[in-house]
Structure 1
Amino acid sequence: MPHTQHARPMYIRLLSGPTTTLGLFLSHSTSCSPPPPPPAKGIDRMGTSVQVTPLSGAYGEGPLCYLLAVDGFRFLLDCGWTDLCDPSHLQPLAKVAPTIDAVLLSHADIMHLGALPYAMKHLGLSAPVYATEPVFRLGILTLYDYFISQRQVSDFDLFTLDDIDAAFQNVVRLKYSQNHLLNDKGEGIVIAPHVAGHDLGGTVWKITKDGEDVVYAVDFNHRKERHLNGTALGSFVRPAVLITDAYNALNNHVYKRQQDQDFIDALVKVLTGGGSVLLPIDTAGRGAGDGMDSMLDEGSARLLLDSTPSKVISNEMTVQVKCSLAYMDFEGRSDGRSVKSVIAHVAPLKLVLVHGSAEATEHLKMHCSKNSDLHVYAPQIEETIDVTSDLCAYKVQLSEKLMSNVISKKLGEHEIAWVDAEVGKADDKLTLLPPSSTPAAHKSVLVGDLKLADFKQFLANKGLQVEFAGGALRCGEYITLRKIGDAGQKGSTGSQQIVIEGPLCEDYYKIRELLYSQFYLL
């Protein structure tokens, strides 16, 4: 099709399989190009609206509970409570509970799901709940244990065992990396749980709408441990929004080998002295075993305790307690150094910080703002922030005739293709068209992001001698590769060039072919 002053190169991504409803992403630079023309009749603006509102757990280490709205569909991210179970702490949740469309649970402890039975019984929360199988099972066990322990010391009546059963009765259980398409009001939204690495079943949630990802990642652990894999968060690239916590932003762990040795030394010292060691753990936390799961399967909904005859005798005595208290961090959360590294690697367009002390939140906010062009937000409780993407995108209908001539290539979960076109209105009138001619071929486009460190390892595996010298990659005796960025662009969104320097020898053509193999050619 002929170019006009508004014609722009476009990337096309299939939204609904083999149909002709496509996401049309107009690539243009907001700094130097004129604004795009208004959408023609029949073309709908496709930008995804995203708002985040903390209901608890912002500028503090309180329970986690956040409201996320994606194009009007309202997610409740976790539904935590404190051990005190004070209903006044749930006032922000009470205001929005009846309007929630879906609840996403990330971990199976009180801080992440403790208020779920109370909210469903008293606050009008009736939305479907999504969780992994371990979070579902361990979550019930955690609440059972909490209820029984509270009844032993007080007249606890905020919820009952039946309320716990009712809250978890219709939980939708998902497997890791399972894409679940929502219906009705949430049509077009896909949710998927991914490994968090903190505890069994711990989840990083990815919410996708019209090609834009919103990632909710709190209490994650990048380390692979003996019983748990590390988080999958590092596999995400350039999500539109990343919601994460600043809980450990000020803490830096010692190396794991040293930490394990210090732990063993402390145990041996006490045991050889004839003492005892107590290790407190959560009910369904990182120390939970298979016995808890079997208890849940075989036991009834209520744990019945036999009443035996007893006589209480009380007296006072003085007991000398000889003990020492040692704190060692085995919580399985990434420390501040690792959190900063993960955020830099994921490189979200917008970052929302929650769940951390005021000092830790401000520290991480300043660090991320200073070291990149990232948009960083740290909202207060009940403060709504708009993190809608700035992408220029439209939703259009493409004809079968056009699609039959498009050559698509697979790129991750998507398909990409090059189309030269102009956006305009459909015209039913018959017009005299000039003789068709073969359009000029467009310049080849390489799609991808190459890291010289990874390419160095790739060339080494191919038997080539490579080394870094002066910021460039020297290949063999004559060939040098340099990566040159666009000085006019900030961050990683600017265009980059890879320059190959050297004589036209056999190594030159071999290295160039290997370099091309790292990209998708359109």
Structure 2
Amino acid sequence: MTSIIKLHCLSGAGDESPPCYVLQIDEFKFLLDCGWDEKFDMDFIKELKRHVNSIDAVLLSHSDPLHLGALPYAVGQLGLNCPIYATLPVYKMGQMFMYDLYQSHKNVSDFDLFTLDDVDGAFDRITQLKYNQSIDMKGKGLGLRITPLPAGHLLGGTVWRIAAPGEEDIVYAPDFNHKKERHLNGCEIERIMRPSLLLLGAMNADYVQPRRRLRDEKLMTTILSTLRGGGSVLVCTDTAGRVLELAHMLDQLWRNKDSGLVAYSLLLLSNVSYNVVEFAKSQIEWMSDKLTRAFEGARSNPFALRHLHLCHSVAEVTRTPGPKVVLASFPDLETGFARDLFLQWAPHSQNSIVLTARTSPGTLARELVERGGERTLELTVRRRLRLEGAELEDYLQQRSRVSSNVKEEAGGISSDSESDGELEMCVVTGRHDIPARSDARPAGCFKTNKRHHAMFPCHEERARSDDYGELIRPEDYRLAEIVDAEGEIRDVPPAPPQRMEVEEELTEIPSKCVSSVRQVQIRANIQYIELEGRCDGESLLRVVAHAKPRAIVGLRAAPAALRTLAKHCESEGIEQIFTPNRGDIVDATTESHIYQVKLTDGLLAGVWWRAAGDAELAWLAAVVTAPRAREPTAEETPTDEMMSLEAGGGACAPHTASFINSVRLSELRAALAKLGLNAEFSAGALECCNGTIAIRRLENGRVALEGVLSEEYFKIRELLYDQFAIV
């Protein structure tokens, strides 16, 4: 059986926008990734909203925002409610990515696209899988099976293999790396052989990647020359993905005493740096065979990074004396601590800025990669400042008025509806009031209002203390300092006594967001050292030739890269090559002249069903009717209207009865014996009633009944008819 396969490209087609696709296999729809870049494109969200209610499952391939950044918004704001599948590292590290992304924006702006609760709610819906663990879909997806395979790009990165009915395999490989690295094994190429359809991320189809040895030498030369010259090095990397490869490599270099790097500081700066390293320590089994053997043999955790100091603010970096190397997020330099340090260090010629990834077009990092430094840029500087003076007074007064209004509403007297001329009054205090029903029943014939009255239990107030009896004071654990985008440190003063009742209710420090445009002169050494961990162009084309798919769809690539991929596929004899643009629908059905039709209620009402074993059969005669033209609304999913089958014309004309079953004469002989009729085989026929009736199988496979018309003849004929489903 052949499935109807369609791919709707919501994003990540014809350009380098984040990957997000709806893969339809018959009636089941997969959402392949749900990426969002630093631009937070809302046009993409509008398109995703039209598909949210029809999605049956989500498959996540990697943990960075490029592949799952819009998932919290889709779950928390759009109402995406379906199973989500990902590996354990994608689940763990994906949360770290989104926490860091949210906090980085919240530190400098009033970010409200999603909250941390949305992040937790989205990741709570994820079903965690292991590599090569197959899961069968249910309901509309009966017959579909998904299997995650190692991708080699990020920790837990996945190439999804989807087995469809009819021996059709679909492989979704947006980003992968076939080469082994320090902390990851490569992609298992042999597991993606001969798929019916290959959904391939072709971003690097025309990219020439430098050799790993030359790349590492360039990084080491930049670091050593900068540190010995009295400058610092900013390495712009991600939160919990490629930063693990960099951190492990640099920590190994710092351990080598001959390198001379022990005298300098190596820092990891992000909002979740401690959690990232701790999660990496607990996920060694997902890493390379070399690290796994080292952990099993010497019982030394390779991510017990002795020379890497974890930082969570720019102030901690500033307090670290001397030249230093800082791994900071994010690689696009649009937000986060990497941008803060860039604004501080770029004007000084002794410093170096190392860019490790080609981010989306239009970002600061991409512009620096393409045009270099040694120039003046006009950049928007955003920061969050603490309220002071009149602004703080106005904020506290407004907060006090809101608090007093809430207390009045909660502790005031509320009147209920009158019943039988009697006014019921109820005062509610405390957190857990016990409702009690009054025993007094008013006289009269009217229906009583069965209202509950609140009792007032005695709540014992206990002093909060730790296990050793020491009182817990929340003010001892307040944030001690605020660091703005320029690294200025401002201590948070304790709340004055007259405002204590208001300050206790504040969940965060009163602040405001300001932005300004600054002329930044770039004098630091700008170096682009590719550390993305993806296949280069030559390797990517070789993988395509080795996998030999029947059809291939080139995704998330510039037009030049797509042309290179299409030309290579034609030379390899691949039957179908699709290079869609954003918003296109690709019909990748393997067989031709296959259509989906729907049965109308009027047609099914006149169908007579006949039992045939565990199934029911019916004769259906109808005509194909084209769909009625109708403009879909903005909230509807843009799907192709299916043709329908309707009764009409000659569809209801009488037809010759069809006998459905393959009857064996031996089984028929046993059925005759139960009726008390003896039957024997003679010359390939079954003779009954002393040879007066014969049942034989003809050359065309049909069964013929011959003999003298008698009572036994009609019994045998009726028994023979019972062996078939007649429609």
Give the 3 Å change call, closer, same or farther, for CA 434–306 of structure 1 in structure 2. Answer: farther
The one-letter code matched in structure 2 to 1:271 is L
Query: What is the CA distance between 1:188 and its match in structure 2?
Result: 1.3
Check if 1:341 corresponds to 2:296: no
CA deviations over 1:212-248 (Å, ceiling 9, x no partner): 1100001100100111000123432211100011111
Counterpart CA distance in 1 for 2:561 and 2:520 is 41
Residue of structure 1 in register with 2:220 after alignment: 264
Counterpart CA distance in 2 for 1:86 and 1:47 is 37
The one-letter code matched in structure 2 to 1:249 is A
Query: What is the CA distance between 1:110 and its match in structure 2?
Result: 0.9
TM-score calculated relative to the size of structure 2: 0.46
Residue of structure 1 in register with 2:597 after alignment: none
Superposed, 1:427-466 pairs within 5 Å as: 427-428=662-663, 430=665
Query: What is the CA distance between 1:258 and its match in structure 2?
Result: 2.3
Residue of structure 2 in register with 1:386 after alignment: 587
The one-letter code matched in structure 2 to 1:240 is S
Give the 3 Å change call, closer, same or farther, for CA 392–383 of structure 1 in structure 2. Answer: closer
Residue of structure 2 in register with 1:332 after alignment: 533
Superposed, 1:123-522 pairs within 5 Å as: 123-210=78-165, 211-288=167-244, 291-293=274-276, 306=479, 308=481, 309-310=491-492, 322-390=523-591, 426-428=661-663, 430=665
CA deviations over 1:155-189 (Å, ceiling 9, x no partner): 11111111111111121000001111112221111
Give the 3 Å change call, closer, same or farther, for CA 340–425 of structure 1 in structure 2. Answer: farther
Counterpart CA distance in 2 for 1:223 and 1:434 is 71
Residue 153 of structure 1 aligns to a residue whose secondary structure is coil
Give the 3 Å change call, closer, same or farther, for CA 429–228 of structure 1 in structure 2. Answer: closer
- 1:217–1:233 contact (8 Å) kept in structure 2: no
Counterpart CA distance in 1 for 2:101 and 2:232 is 26
The one-letter code matched in structure 2 to 1:48 is S
Q: Once superposed, what is the RMSD of the aligned Cα atoms?
A: 3.1
The one-letter code matched in structure 2 to 1:327 is Y
CA deviations over 1:312-350 (Å, ceiling 9, x no partner): 9xxxx9998742001011100001111000000000011
- 1:140–1:164 contact (8 Å) kept in structure 2: yes
Counterpart CA distance in 2 for 1:71 and 1:320 is 57
- Percent identity among equivalent residues? 40
Kindly indicate whether structure 1 or structure 2 has the higher relative contact order, using CA contacts under 8 Å at least 6 residues apart. 1
Residue 564 of structure 2 aligns to a residue whose secondary structure is helix
Residue of structure 2 in register with 1:462 after alignment: none
CA deviations over 1:371-426 (Å, ceiling 9, x no partner): 32331101122211111123999xxxxxxxxxxxxxxxxxxxxxxxxxxxxxx963
Counterpart CA distance in 2 for 1:153 and 1:318 is 19
Give the 3 Å change call, closer, same or farther, for CA 68–268 of structure 1 in structure 2. Answer: same
Give unmatched runs, 5+ long, in structure 2: 248-272, 281-312, 314-476, 482-490, 494-510, 512-517, 595-658, 669-680, 686-727
Counterpart CA distance in 1 for 2:132 and 2:139 is 22
The one-letter code matched in structure 1 to 2:526 is L
Residue 238 of structure 2 aligns to a residue whose secondary structure is coil
The one-letter code matched in structure 2 to 1:51 is K
Query: What is the CA distance between 1:435 and its match in structure 2?
Result: 6.8
Residue of structure 2 in register with 1:109 after alignment: 64
The one-letter code matched in structure 1 to 2:545 is A
Check if 1:75 corresponds to 2:58: no
Query: What is the CA distance between 1:275 and its match in structure 2?
Result: 2.2
Superposed, 1:20-39 pairs within 5 Å as: none
Give the 3 Å change call, closer, same or farther, for CA 242–173 of structure 1 in structure 2. Answer: same
- 1:141–1:296 contact (8 Å) kept in structure 2: no
- 1:53–1:379 contact (8 Å) kept in structure 2: no
Give the 3 Å change call, closer, same or farther, for CA 363–320 of structure 1 in structure 2. Answer: closer
Query: What is the CA distance between 1:264 and its match in structure 2?
Result: 2.1
The one-letter code matched in structure 2 to 1:349 is R
- 2:15–2:581 contact (8 Å) kept in structure 1: no
Give unmatched runs, 5+ long, in structure 1: 1-45, 298-302, 394-423, 437-522
- 1:47–1:391 contact (8 Å) kept in structure 2: no
Counterpart CA distance in 2 for 1:98 and 1:321 is 48
- 1:198–1:221 contact (8 Å) kept in structure 2: yes
Residue of structure 1 in register with 2:325 after alignment: none
Counterpart CA distance in 2 for 1:392 and 1:291 is 57
Counterpart CA distance in 1 for 2:226 and 2:275 is 29
TM-score calculated relative to the size of structure 1: 0.63
Residue 360 of structure 1 aligns to a residue whose secondary structure is helix
Give the 3 Å change call, closer, same or farther, for CA 184–433 of structure 1 in structure 2. Answer: farther
Counterpart CA distance in 1 for 2:117 and 2:188 is 35
Residue of structure 2 in register with 1:476 after alignment: none
The one-letter code matched in structure 2 to 1:365 is A
Counterpart CA distance in 1 for 2:533 and 2:194 is 25
Counterpart CA distance in 2 for 1:280 and 1:157 is 25
- 1:75–1:100 contact (8 Å) kept in structure 2: yes
Give the 3 Å change call, closer, same or farther, for CA 171–274 of structure 1 in structure 2. Answer: same
Give the 3 Å change call, closer, same or farther, for CA 366–320 of structure 1 in structure 2. Answer: closer
Residue 48 of structure 2 aligns to a residue whose secondary structure is helix
The alignment of Structure 1 onto Structure 2 pairs a total of residues equal to 353
Query: What is the CA distance between 1:287 and its match in structure 2?
Result: 1.2
Give the 3 Å change call, closer, same or farther, for CA 262–101 of structure 1 in structure 2. Answer: same
